[in-house]
Amino acid sequence: MSQQIPTRDLSPDPVKVHQPQMVDLYAKREKIHARAISGFFQNIRNASVTVVMALFFLLPWINWDGRQAVLFNLPERHFYIFWWTFLPQDFFFLSWLFIIAAFTLFAVTVFAGRVWCGYTCPQTVWTKVFMWIEEKAEGNRNARMRLDKAPMTVGKFTRRSIKHAGWITVALATGLAFIGYFTPVRDLWHQTSTGTLDFWMGFWMLFFTGATYLNAGWMREQVCLHMCPYGRFQSVMFDRDTLIISYDNHRGDPRGSRKRGTTSADNGLGDCIDCGMCVQVCPTGIDIRDGLQFECIQCAACIDACDSVMDQMGYARGLVKYTTENLLEQTGDGKYHFLRPRLIGYCTALVIMISALLFALITRVPLSVEALRDRGQLYRETVDGMIENSYTLKIQNKAQTAGDYLIEASADGMPVTIPGAPIHIRMDAGELATRSLTLIANPDDIKSTSVPVHIVITRDGDSSVHAETKNTFLSPRQ
């Protein structure tokens, strides 16, 4: 009979199930003092933290074609991402990008569980930085626990002040950097350094500073456990071949302490010496030996801690490890199955969506035009008997550079003229221009009361950049 991944039995006691129970609706948070640990997976985490922090703080300072490479300019409603410029009507592309990001997260979760949470989630990254500052200011785990219980002294006040000063510095830098994605970062830093920052910029900077300080400094695992929905629905995406961190109870139990150098066979115990190191290093305070739990963010700190203990005892590594339910139960062929229906489905959907998005972006014409009819008058008859129709053109230059554009028009089955043609208009990069357009036709050429017209905008010197819109030419002639 196969063994399941060990889980805690939380079933109510059948003897007490019908007895009145006192239930606290609120339990005070118990502060978690995670012990620092080094190892293979923690080196990977440190590298990922460094990359995420570097990208976050440095990306706004990168220039591209004479402007900020990544800038979501809300006042001007221009959104720049390297060589692409998006306008409010292009939010479809940004929504598409977010959907792709969500499906990527789903695929990664099916493959390797919550590795996003453990290695690259901003909450995890900033919490790790804040914990590093805390350790440098207050000492290791035992020293911090003693400091919490100690009365307030000059030394304790000094250590706490240094810690909070470090937290506030990182939080303030985070708030400024975040605002730098929505307003030119060089102007932002100049205004901040000269004290000329306007009210709303200052408000949002302080808001994100406070949010970072609270989330990474005070709330920490509470954000992962109670505010983030990902941990709650992750199990729906797991299958029996999803990589999870698990304790090998077949090898580790029964647990018990023993002298270094003794083998498990000497005392009839398993390899787990019940040292509690896996619990001490866990940032969410769980015991991985209790089985798979939604609180586990798969940071692999327990793996590095357990491996270090196994090295000291002379035992083989892997008592706590990345594994799958199939491998842990040793069922079937005993192999890891990379290709499986759910993962193939997510990857296929990702390939299709990414390919479609890239095709849409590559073939996207950096120009748009919309023609609005003059609603005050359907048509006009001139003194010389000609029929006029008036339109308002809204032309958007989505290109990264300024350019000159030619306005042309034609109608189905009849000639039309534009007074003052040819009409040229110059627009800056990203500019939305409004231009009036009048079309004139001879009544003798009009065969219908409504004739389709085509208005074309073409970039001078590059006929491949053009946009077209359709409207109608109205007249009283039947």
Q: Supply the pLDDT for residue 1.
A: 41
If you search the block for the tokens 């990264």, which residue do you land on? 400
How confident is residue 73, by pLDDT bands cut at 50, 70 and 90? confident
- Give the pLDDT confidence score for residue 19 in this predicted structure: 56
Evaluate if residue 319 carries a pLDDT over 50. Answer: yes
422 cis-preceded (ω within 30 degrees of 0): yes
Q: CB of 460 within 8 A of CB of 361?
A: no
Q: What is the DSSP string of 326-378?
A: HHHHT-TTS------HHHHHHHHHHHHHHHHHHHHHHT--SEEEEEEE-TT-S
Residue 32: predicted pLDDT: 87
Taking residues 174-189, report their average pLDDT.
88
Instruction: Choose among 367, 377, 355, 322: nearest CA to 114.
Output: 322
Residue 58 is predicted with a pLDDT of 92
Specify the pLDDT at position 360. Answer: 82
The span from the CA of 112 to the CA of 238, in Å, is: 9
Q: For 233-262, write each residue's pLDDT tens digit.
A: 776 777 778 888 899 888 888 888 888 877
Q: Is 435 helix (H, G, I), strand (E, B) or coil?
A: strand
Closest CA to 87 of 317, 332, 364, 285: 364
CATH number assigned to the domain covering 367-474: 2.60.40.10
Section 281-286 average pLDDT: 90
pLDDT at 3 over 60: no
Question: How big is the chain, counted in residues?
Answer: 478
Taking the domains of the chain in order of start, what are their residue ranges?
29-364, 367-474
Burial-class residue 408 by CB neighbours within 10 Å (0-12, 13-18, 19+): middle
Average the pLDDT over 145-161 and give the result.
91
Locate all alpha helices (DSSP H) within 59-114, ordered by sequence. 91-112
Structure token digits, residue 309: 């203990």
Query: In Å, how far are 253, 321, 457 from 14, measured between CA atoms?
Result: 27, 35, 79
SS3 at position 22: coil
Average model confidence (pLDDT) for the chain? 84
Highest mean pLDDT among 104-113, 300-309, 343-352: 300-309
Answer whether residue 332 shows pLDDT above 60: no
Segment 373-393 mean pLDDT: 85
| Residue that the structure tokens 């410029």 belong to | 85
Q: What average pLDDT does the segment 424-444 reach? A: 85
Q: Using an 8 Å Cβ cutoff, are 436 and 391 in contact?
A: yes
Q: If you average pLDDT over each of 7-16, 234-243, 269-278, which comes out highest?
A: 269-278
> By C-alpha distance, which of 147, 335, 113, 332 is closest to 238?
113
What is the per-residue pLDDT across 86-111, written as a single tens digit (0 to 9) for each?
777 677 787 888 888 888 888 888 88
